[in-house]
Every structure is written in structure tokens, then in C-alpha cells.
């Protein structure tokens, strides 16, 4: 019997447990390091990227999935008559969505959604697709419903330092130096109409103090947050106790049914570096 297959770019950062629970297929974006191309999360990890950076101060570049790759992938998933709903990294960040749409236009039964977000902000969109598939809704209805709620999926992160953003050319030396000098920990918010990122607040002091203030700003006294699931997503923490602190604060301010701790993919981590952490959630 034909079914609907849920698929997503590897940048959705849902982690293995949720991936298995909802039977989600991943397609990896590409990581290019010292002239060699790797598949995100398949033959390279964020820790590999950090090790190479410590060794030689070389950062990778990231590359979208091309049309032919998506076409081959979608053909394989639909060869037995199944349908596919695929969610992409926000189109404001990558050409992957446009390439997936071009591939889908050549096939029957392939639906492509612009996640308009990144990391588990995009992952929240993927889960909305998966829940509706499990409920037995038809593909076209799922796409309409999910596209209507993308702007209720919120993503932001706080960074311990700007080293990777600076080395990757995403902030100036002056900004990086000033942040370090003043012990500023910047917050990056994602525009959930496109997936583009921009600086928001700046927190001063230790990373632990800044993290606590950031989580309070995001969650405290909020009555509009869906409390079935909140994500804490990070790029690898030098001090793991900060994850425990983040969990305590999320419970204190919202006490959701499920707190999911996930690790950011190579694509995300290569831009922000280690010691980046965020709380990601849906609103009503």
C-alpha cells in the first residue's frame, strides 16, 4: 500500500531518536573542507570540523544539494508508488529549496516545503509534517496546513564568541574584537519567513549568566508557547553543565511535556562554532 514518506535536509537537527520515532529520511548537504566534499553527518561531524580548525585554522564551506541529486533521491523514494513530502533549509540561506522544487517538478507525488528556518526551527516544521502523516492526512492537505504554520516556529541562539563568524567572513574584526573586549554574548534570531539570520540582543558577562538571561527572555511569563515540545539545540558545549542549567530553566519557565536536546549539524556548526546554544519552540 502506498504511503507518504517524510523527508528533510540534514540541517533539521532532530537527532536520531526523533528521526526514528517519526521515520524521517534525511538528505545531507555538502561540507567542503580542504578541497574534499563530505556529506553532512554521514562522513564528517562537527567535532571533525573543530579539530581541523584547531589544527590548521581552516574552516569548511557548505554547499547546497543540486537538482540532479534531489531528482535521483526522489525517484528512489517514489519508485514503489509512494509520495514524498520534503522540507528544506530556509530558502533565504540556501539554494537547496529551489533545487528541490525543480527536481520535484519532474516527478509525480513529490511535495517540497520551504522550511523558512534552520536547525530545529526547521525541525519543528518537519515534525508538523510527520504528525499529520501519522494521522493519515493526504499529502496536499498536509502541505497547505504546514505552510500556514511555519511562522509559528521560532529559532534563536546565543554564542559564546564570534570567532567562527569572523573567520567565516560573517562579522567584522572590529565587531568580534569589541564583543570579546566587552564580554558580550550575541543572540542570533532567525527570520521565520525566510530563514535568514540577524543579530538581536547582546548579553554581557559569563556565558552561564548570559545563557540564563537569554532563556528567561525567550520563555519567562510567556503564555503563547506550545508546551508539548521545546528544543534545546547546541553545537557542542565546552561546559556540559550549561546544558543541565538550560534544561532546569526551560522546566522552570514553561515545563513542557518533552524537552529535546539535540546537536546541530555540520552545516550549522561550521558557521557558528562550538558553544552555541538555543531554545526553539512553536507558538500558538
pLDDT tens digits, 231-251? 999 999 999 999 999 999 999
What is the tens place of the pLDDT at every residue in 199-209? 788 898 899 99
Provide the pLDDT for residue 175. Answer: 47
Fold for the domain defined by 153-282: Hypothetical Protein Tm841; Chain: A;domain 3 (3.30.1180)
What are the domain boundaries of the chain?
4-150, 153-282
Using only C-alpha atoms, what is the Rg of the chain?
Answer: 19
Q: Where are the alpha helices (DSSP H) in 135-263?
A: 139-149, 163-167, 173-181, 207-219, 241-253
Q: Cα 265–270–271 angle (5° rounding)? A: 110
Whole-structure pTM value: 0.93
What architecture does CATH give domain 4-150?
3-Layer(aba) Sandwich (3.40)
Using CA atoms, how far apart are residues 25 and 223, in angstroms rounded to an integer? 33
Regions of the chain with pLDDT less than 70? 165-183
Provide the pLDDT for residue 154. Answer: 97
Provide the pLDDT for residue 216. Answer: 98
Using CA atoms, how far apart are residues 38 and 48, in angstroms rounded to an integer? 11
Least Cα distance to 20 among 2, 6, 9, 1 occurs for: 6
Cβ(241)–Cβ(207) under 8 Å?
no
Cβ(112)–Cβ(143) under 8 Å?
no
Please tell me whether residue 199 adopts helix, strand or coil conformation: strand
Using CA atoms, how far apart are residues 156 and 142, in angstroms rounded to an integer? 26
Amino acid at each position: 500500500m502506498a504511503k507518504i514518506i517524510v523527508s528533510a535536509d540534514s540541517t533539521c537537527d532532530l537527532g536520531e531518536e526523533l528521526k526514528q520515532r517519526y521515520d524521517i529520511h534525511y538528505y545531507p548537504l555538502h561540507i567542503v573542507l580542504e578541497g574534499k566534499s563530505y556529506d553532512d553527518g554521514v562522513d564528517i561531524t562537527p567535532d571533525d570540523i573543530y579539530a581541523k580548525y584547531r589544527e590548521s585554522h581552516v574552516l569548511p564551506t557548505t554547499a547546497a544539494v543540486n537538482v540532479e541529486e534531489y531528482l535521483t533521491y526522489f525517484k528512489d523514494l517514489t519508485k514503489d508508488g509512494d509520495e514524498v513530502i520534503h522540507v528544506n533549509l530556509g530558502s533565504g540561506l540556501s539554494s537547496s529549496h529551489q533545487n528541490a522544487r525543480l527536481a520535484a517538478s519532474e516527478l509525480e507525488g513529490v511535495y517540497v516545503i520551504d522550511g523558512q528556518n534552520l536547525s530545529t526551527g526547521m525541525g519543528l516544521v518537519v515534525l508538523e509534517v510527520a504528525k499529520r502523516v501519522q494521522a493519515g492526512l493526504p499529502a496536499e492537505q498536509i502541505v497547505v496546513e504546514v505552510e500556514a504554520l511555519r511562522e509559528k516556529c521560532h529559532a534563536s541562539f546565543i554564542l559564546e564568541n564570534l570567532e567562527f563568524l569572523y573567520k567565516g567572513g560573517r562579522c567584522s574584526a572590529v565587531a568580534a574584537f569589541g564583543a570579546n573586549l566587552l564580554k558580550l554574548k550575541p543572540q542570533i534570531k532567525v527570520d521565520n519567513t525566510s530563514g535568514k539570520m540577524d543579530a538581536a540582543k547582546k548579553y554581557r558577562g559569563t556565558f552561564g549568566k548570559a545563557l540564563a538571561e537569554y532563556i528567561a527572555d525567550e520563555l519567562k511569563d510567556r503564555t503563547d508557547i506550545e508546551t508539548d515540545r521545546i528544543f534545546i539545540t547546541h553545537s557542542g558545549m565546552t561546559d556540559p553543565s550549561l546544558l543541565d542549567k538550560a534544561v532546569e530553566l526551560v522546566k522552570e519557565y514553561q515545563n513542557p511535556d518533552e524537552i529535546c536536546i539535540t546537536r546541530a549539524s555540520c552545516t550549522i556548526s561550521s558557521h557558528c562554532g562550538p558553544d552555541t546554544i538555543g531554545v526553539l519552540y512553536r507558538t500558538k
